C-alpha cells in the first residue's frame, strides 16, 4: 500500500485525475480575475467533454478532440458573457442555468447523435503515457504562463483592471466588456480542455461525467485567493485525495465505498469551512457590471 | 467584498431585478417572454431531431391533458416542485441562492422513511403523519441551516456549499440505505407504517396524492408569512438591501440562517409527496431532480408563492409531457429545456426592466 503511493504509476494517476480540476480552476481564476463570477465551469467541462467525444469519434484524432473541447468551452463562455454582460442577467444564476443546460443538453445530443442514453461511442486516446498527452503540457504551460501574463503583460493589467476598477479601464478607452470576454474565452478554452481530458482519460463520453468537478474547482479558486497557479496546486491535492481513495478501494481497507467516494467533497467542505469566502482578496468588481 | 477578512453578507444582486410583487405586470411579462424563449428553443431542438415542432407540441398537450393518468403525473410532479420551488424562492427573497434543495429533498426522504418504518404498525394517522412530516422538515432544515451558517460565519458562497452538500447527502443516504435499510440486494427499504401513508387522489392510478394539499397549505403559509408578518418584511429587507436592513436593527446573519433553515425544511417536506404519498419506502434516487426543477419554478414564478405553484404546474407538464412524447423526440429534450427556462428568466427580467425605463 505504502509503496504504491510512491510509485510512478500512482503519480501518473494523480496527475491524470488532477488535469480536469486544474484546467477548470485556472480557467475560472482568469474569468473571475476579470470580474465575472464563473459558476459555469461545470457546463464548460461537460460540453468540452462531449465535444471532444464527438470530434474524436468523427475524425479519429485525439488532437482534434482536444481542439473540439477547447472550442466548446469557448462557446459556453461566450454565451455566459452575452447573458451576464449584454443582457445583464444575474451572473450566479447564469452559471447555474448553463450547468443545468449542459446536464440535459449533452444527454439530448447524445441521444440525437448516437441514439444512446448514457455513453458515446469509443474515442481514440493518447495512450497510457501521460507525457504524450498534450493536455498535460497545456496545463503546465498555463500554470507557468498565466501568473506571468496576469502580473507582467498589458493583457494582464487590463484583465485585472476589468476585475477591480472597470471605470478606470473605461477612462483610458478600453472596453471592460471586451476585456472580460477575452478573459472568459481563454478561461473557457482551458476548462473545455479539462473536459476533453475527462473524455480522453476513459476513451468516451459518459453522461454527467463532470460530476461536480466544476464546483470543486471554483472552491479551490477561492481558497487560492484567485491565483491560477495556486488554484491548480490545490486541485492536485484534491486529486491526491481521490487517487488515495482509489488505492484504498483496491486494498479493501473496509471504508464503505459510498463514503470513500465523497472524499473530494468532504475535502472541499473542509476548505470552505476553514477558508470560507474570505481567504485572499476577491476582485473588487467581481459580479458587478 | 472589499476588505481582506471582511465577511461578505451584503448582496443585493438578486433583489435588484427580482423585487417580488413590486410590479406584477412586469413580472408576468418577464415570465411570459421566458416561456416564449423556451418554446422557441424547444422547437428548434425538435427541428434538429427532424420532427415538426407544431406536431410534437400539440401531441404533448393532447396526450397529457387527454389521459387522466398522465394528468395525475403532472400534478404529482408539480406537488414536489411547488415545495422545492417555494424553498428556493424563500431563500432568493432573502438574497440567498439555495441550489441545495436537491440534497435537502434526499435528506427529507431518508428521515421521513426512517421514522415511518420505525413507527409501530398500529400508529394512528394523527400521530404518524405529523411525526413523519416533522422528521422530513427537520432533516431538510438541518442541511439548509448548515449552508446558512457557513454563509454567515465563514462567508462561504452558498452555491458552492449547496452543491458539495448535495453530493455528500446523496452519498451518505445511499450508504445508510445499503448498510441498514435496503432489503437483500435491492435499493428499496421497508414499508412505512400504514398510518403514515397519505391517500391517493385517483387519476387513473397515478401517483398524485394528498400531499398536494400540504403543498397548497405551504403556498398559503409562505404567502402569509411573506406579505402579512414582520418576519416576511425582515427577510425581504435583507434580500433587497442588507446594509439598510442592518441599520434598522435587523440581525442580517440571523435572518439569513433562519431563512436557509426554513428553505431547507420546505424542500424536506417534499418527501411527503414521494415517501408518504407514493413509494411508502426509502428508495435510491427517490425525488431526484425535484430540487433542480425547484430552481426553475422559483425563477419562473418570479418568487411569488402563487407564481411558483403555477410555474411548478408548467414544469410538471413539460416534464411529464416529455415522457408522453418520448416515442417522437428524445425525452432528454425537456431536461435540457430546464436550463433554458432558468437562463431565459434570468435574462428576461432585466430586459423588461430596461425596456420600461426607456419608454
Q: State the DSSP H helix or E strand holding residue B248, giving kind and residue range, or none if neither.
A: none
Neighbour count for residue A144 (Cβ, 10 Å): 11
Residue A253 reports pLDDT greater than 80: no
Predicted pLDDT at B13: 46
Look at B342 and A93 and tell me if their CB atoms are within 8 Å.
yes
* Contact yes or no for B335 and A96 at CB 8 A: no
Q: Which residues pair with B283 in a beta bridge?
A: B188
- Tell me which chain B residues have a C-beta less than 8 angstroms from the C-beta of A28: none
Q: Select the residue from A90, A218, A220, A285 to test the B interface by mutation, using most B Cβ atoms within 10 A.
A: A90
DSSP chain A: -HHHHTSHHHHHHHHHHHHHHHHHHHHHHHHHHTT-----HHHHHHHHHHHHHHHHHHH--HHHHHHHHHHHHHHHHHHHHIIIIIS---HHHHHHHHHHHHHHHHHHHHHHHHS-SSBPPP-----S-STT-HHHHHHHHHHHHHHHHHHHSHHHHHHHHHHH-HHHHHHTT--HHHHHHHHHHHHHHHHHHHHHHHHHHHTS-BTTTTTTHHHHHHHHHHHTTT-HHHHHHHHHHHHHHHHHHHHHHHHT-S--HHHHTTHHHHHHHHHHHHHTT-SS---TTTT--
Residue in chain B closest to A288 (alpha carbons) equals B13
Per-residue pLDDT of A168-210, as tens digits, reads 999 999 999 999 999 999 999 999 999 999 999 999 999 999 9
A83 touches chain B (CB under 8 A): yes
Chain B residues with beta carbon closer than 8 angstroms to that of A275:
154
Note which residues in 240-259 of chain A have CB less than 8 A from chain B.
256, 258-259
Total Cβ atoms within 10 A of residue A124? 16
Determine whether the interchain pair A216/B164 forms a contact, defined as Cβ–Cβ distance below 8 Å. Answer: yes
A165 by Cβ neighbours in 10 Å (0-12 / 13-18 / 19+) ranks as middle
Q: Cα(B162)–Cα(B285) distance, rounded to whole angstroms?
A: 18
Query: Hey, where are the domains in chain A?
Result: 2-275
**A107 contacts A117 by C-beta, under 8 angstroms:** yes
Distances (CA, A) of A23 to A11, A216, B92: 18, 12, 31
Residue among B167, B295, B336 whose CB faces A108 most closely: B336
3-state secondary structure string across A58-103: HHCCHHHHHHHHHHHHHHHHHHHHHHHHHCCCCHHHHHHHHHHHHH
DSSP B215-242: HHHHHHHHHHHHHHSHHHHHHHHHHH-H
ipTM above 0.90, yes or no: no
Q: Give the pLDDT mean for A233-247.
A: 90
pLDDT at A7: 84
> B34-47 burial string, b = 16+ CB within 10 Å, else e?
bbebbeebbbebbe
Instruction: Say how far apart CA A22 and CA A232 lie, in whole Å.
Output: 4
CA B16/CA B92 separation, integer angstroms: 11
In this prediction, residue B20 carries a pLDDT of 46
Interchain contact A93–B (C-beta under 8 A)? yes
Radius of gyration of chain A (CA): 19
Contacts of residue A256, Cβ cutoff 8 Å, sequence gap at least 6? B175, B178, B179
Q: Are B311 and A69 in contact (CB under 8 A)?
A: no
**Coil, helix or strand for B188?**
strand
Domain B21-358 has CATH 1.10.287: no
Residue A208 touches partner B, C-beta closer than 8 Å? no
Which residues, 6+ apart, have CB-to-CB distance to B355 below 8 Å? Answer: none
CA distances from B73 to A77, B24, B159, B200, B298 (A): 37, 30, 30, 12, 20
Domain ranges of chain B: 21-358
Cα of A57 to nearest chain B Cα, Å: 20
- Would you call B172 and A262 a contact, using CB atoms and an 8 Å cutoff? yes
Higher-pLDDT residue of A250 and A101 is A101
Give pLDDT, residue A182: 96
CATH topology of domain A2-275: ABC transporter involved in vitamin B12 uptake, BtuC (1.10.3470)
**Per-residue confidence (pLDDT) for residue A223, from 0 to 100:** 83
Question: Chain B contacts of A255, Cβ < 8 Å?
Answer: none
Short-list A274, A236, B285, B151, CA closest to A266? A274
Residue A192 Cα to chain centre, angstroms: 7
Q: Which residue has the higher pLDDT, A14 or B27?
A: A14
| Optimal mutation site among B150, B159, B180, interface A, most CBs of chain A within 10 A | B159
Is the predicted pLDDT of residue A280 greater than 80, yes or no?
Answer: no
Decide if pLDDT at A100 tops 60. yes
Task: Give the cell for residue B295.
Answer: 430552481
Prediction pTM value: 0.90
Chain B residues close to A256, C-beta within 8 Å: 175, 178-179
- Nearest Cβ partner for A96 among B99, B156, B336: B99
Does residue A248 carry a pLDDT above 50? yes
> Which three-class secondary structure state does DSSP give residue B315?
helix
Which pLDDT score, from 0 to 100, does residue A281 have?
Answer: 67
Neighbours of B243 (CB within 10 A): 10
DSSP state, B283?
B
- Mean pLDDT for the stretch of residues A251-270: 84
- Cα A15 to the center of its chain, rounded Å: 14
Closest by Cβ to A256, choosing from B168, B175, B336: B175
Query: Is B226:B236 a contact under the CB 8 Å cutoff?
Result: yes
Interface test with B, best of A258, A271, A289 (most B CBs within 10 A): A258
Continuous segment of H or E residues that includes residue B208: none
Contact B178 A258 (CB under 8 A): yes
CB of A89 less than 8 A from some CB of B: yes
User: What is the spatial distance between Cα B233 and Cα A41, in angstroms, rounded to a whole number?
Assistant: 36
| Cα angle A214, A156, A93; round to 5 | 35
Q: Is the dihedral of CA B256, B261, B267, B270 positive or negative?
A: negative
Residues of A in contact with B143 (CB under 8 A): none
Q: Do B160 and A218 touch (CB under 8 A)?
A: yes
| CB atoms B6 and A278 under 8 Å | yes
Residue A248: which residues within 8 A CB-CB, separation 6 or more?
A255, A260
Residue A279: pLDDT band by 50, 70, 90 thresholds? low
10 Å Cβ neighbour count for B355?
A: 11
CB A110 within 8 A of CB A205: yes
| pLDDT tens series, chain B, 359 aa | 333 433 444 444 454 444 444 577 888 888 899 999 999 999 999 999 999 999 999 999 999 988 999 999 999 999 999 999 999 999 999 999 998 999 999 999 999 999 999 999 889 999 999 999 999 999 999 999 999 999 999 888 888 899 899 999 999 999 999 988 888 778 899 899 999 999 999 888 889 999 999 999 999 999 999 989 999 999 999 988 889 999 999 999 999 999 999 999 999 999 999 999 999 999 998 988 899 899 999 999 988 999 999 999 999 999 888 889 989 998 889 889 989 999 998 898 888 888 877 76
Q: A212: which chain B residues are within 8 Å (Cβ-Cβ)?
A: 163-164, 166-167
Residue B209 bridge partners (DSSP):
B200
Which residues of chain B does A99 touch, with a Cβ-Cβ cutoff of 8 Å?
A: 339
Amino acid at each position: 500500500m505504502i509503496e504504491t503511493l510512491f510509485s510512478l504509476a500512482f503519480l501518473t494517476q494523480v496527475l491524470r485525475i488532477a488535469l480536469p480540476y486544474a484546467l477548470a480552476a485556472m480557467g475560472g481564476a482568469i474569468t473571475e480575475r476579470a470580474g465575472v463570477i464563473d459558476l459555469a465551469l461545470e457546463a464548460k467541462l461537460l460540453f468540452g467533454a462531449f465535444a471532444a467525444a464527438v470530434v474524436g469519434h468523427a475524425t479519429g484524432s485525439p488532437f482534434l478532440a482536444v481542439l473540439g473541447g477547447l472550442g466548446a468551452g469557448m462557446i459556453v463562455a461566450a454565451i455566459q458573457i452575452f447573458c451576464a454582460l449584454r443582457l445583464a442577467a444575474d451572473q450566479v444564476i447564469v452559471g447555474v442555468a448553463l450547468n443545468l443546460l449542459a446536464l440535459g443538453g449533452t444527454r439530448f445530443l447524445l441521444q440525437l447523435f448516437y441514439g444512446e442514453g448514457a455513453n458515446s461511442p469509443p474515442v481514440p486516446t493518447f495512450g497510457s503515457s501521460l507525457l504524450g498527452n498534450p493536455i498535460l503540457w497545456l496545463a503546465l504551460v498555463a500554470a507557468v504562463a498565466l501568473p506571468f501574463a496576469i502580473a507582467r503583460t498589458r493583457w494582464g493589467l487590463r484583465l485585472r483592471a476589468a476585475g477591480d476598477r472597470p471605470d478606470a479601464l473605461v477612462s483610458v478607452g478600453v472596453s471592460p466588456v471586451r476585456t472580460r470576454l477575452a478573459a472568459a474565452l481563454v478561461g473557457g478554452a482551458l476548462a473545455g480542455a479539462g473536459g476533453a481530458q475527462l473524455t480522453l482519460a476513459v476513451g468516451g463520453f459518459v453522461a454527467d461525467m463532470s460530476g461536480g468537478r466544476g464546483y470543486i474547482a471554483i472552491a479551490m479558486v477561492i481558497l487560492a485567493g484567485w491565483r491560477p497557479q495556486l488554484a491548480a496546486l490545490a486541485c492536485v491535492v484534491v486529486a491526491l485525495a481521490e487517487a488515495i481513495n482509489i488505492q484504498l478501494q483496491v486494498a479493501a481497507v473496509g471504508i464503505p465505498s459510498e463514503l470513500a467516494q465523497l472524499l473530494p467533497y468532504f475535502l472541499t467542505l473542509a476548505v470552505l469551512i476553514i477558508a470560507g469566502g474570505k481567504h485572499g482578496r476577491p476582485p473588487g468588481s467581481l459580479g458587478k457590471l | 467584498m472589499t476588505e481582506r477578512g471582511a465577511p461578505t453578507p451584503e448582496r443585493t444582486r438578486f433583489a435588484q431585478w427580482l423585487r417580488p410583487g413590486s410590479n406584477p405586470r412586469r413580472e408576468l411579462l418577464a415570465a411570459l417572454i421566458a416561456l416564449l424563449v423556451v418554446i422557441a428553443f424547444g422547437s428548434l431542438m425538435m427541428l434538429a431531431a427532424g420532427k415538426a415542432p407544431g406536431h410534437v407540441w400539440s401531441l404533448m398537450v393532447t396526450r397529457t391533458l387527454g389521459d387522466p393518468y398522465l394528468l395525475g403525473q403532472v400534478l404529482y410532479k408539480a406537488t414536489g416542485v411547488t415545495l422545492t420551488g417555494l424553498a428556493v424562492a424563500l431563500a432568493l427573497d432573502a438574497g440567498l441562492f439555495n441550489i441545495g434543495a436537491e440534497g435537502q429533498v434526499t435528506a427529507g426522504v431518508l428521515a421521513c422513511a426512517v421514522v415511518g418504518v420505525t413507527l409501530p404498525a398500529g400508529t394512528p394517522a394523527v400521530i404518524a403523519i405529523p411525526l413523519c412530516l416533522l422528521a422530513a422538515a427537520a432533516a431538510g432544515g438541518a442541511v439548509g441551516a448548515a449552508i446558512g451558517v457557513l454563509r454567515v460565519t465563514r462567508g462561504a458562497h452558498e452555491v458552492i456549499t449547496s452543491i458539495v452538500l448535495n453530493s455528500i447527502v446523496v452519498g451518505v443516504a445511499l450508504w445508510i440505505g445499503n448498510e441498514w435499510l435496503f432489503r437483500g440486494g435491492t435499493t428499496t427499504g421497508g414499508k412505512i407504517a400504514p398510518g403514515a401513508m397519505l391517500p391517493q387522489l385517483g387519476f387513473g392510478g397515478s401517483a398524485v396524492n394528498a400531499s398536494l394539499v400540504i403543498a397548497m397549505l405551504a403556498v398559503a403559509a409562505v404567502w402569509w408569512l411573506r406579505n402579512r408578518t414582520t418576519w416576511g418584511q425582515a427577510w425581504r429587507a435583507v434580500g433587497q438591501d442588507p446594509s439598510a436592513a442592518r441599520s434598522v436593527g435587523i440581525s442580517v446573519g440571523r435572518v439569513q440562517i433562519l431563512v436557509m433553515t426554513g428553505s431547507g425544511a420546505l424542500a424536506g417536506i417534499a418527501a411527503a409527496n414521494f415517501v408518504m404519498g407514493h413509494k411508502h419506502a426509502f428508495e435510491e434516487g427517490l425525488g431526484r431532480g425535484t430540487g433542480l426543477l425547484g430552481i426553475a419554478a422559483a425563477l419562473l414564478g418570479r418568487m411569488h408563492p402563487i407564481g411558483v405553484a403555477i410555474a411548478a404546474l408548467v414544469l410538471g407538464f413539460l416534464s411529464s409531457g416529455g415522457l408522453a412524447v418520448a416515442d417522437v423526440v428524445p425525452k432528454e429534450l425537456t431536461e435540457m429545456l430546464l436550463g433554458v427556462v432558468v437562463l431565459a428568466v434570468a435574462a428576461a427580467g432585466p430586459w423588461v426592466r430596461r425596456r420600461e425605463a426607456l419608454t
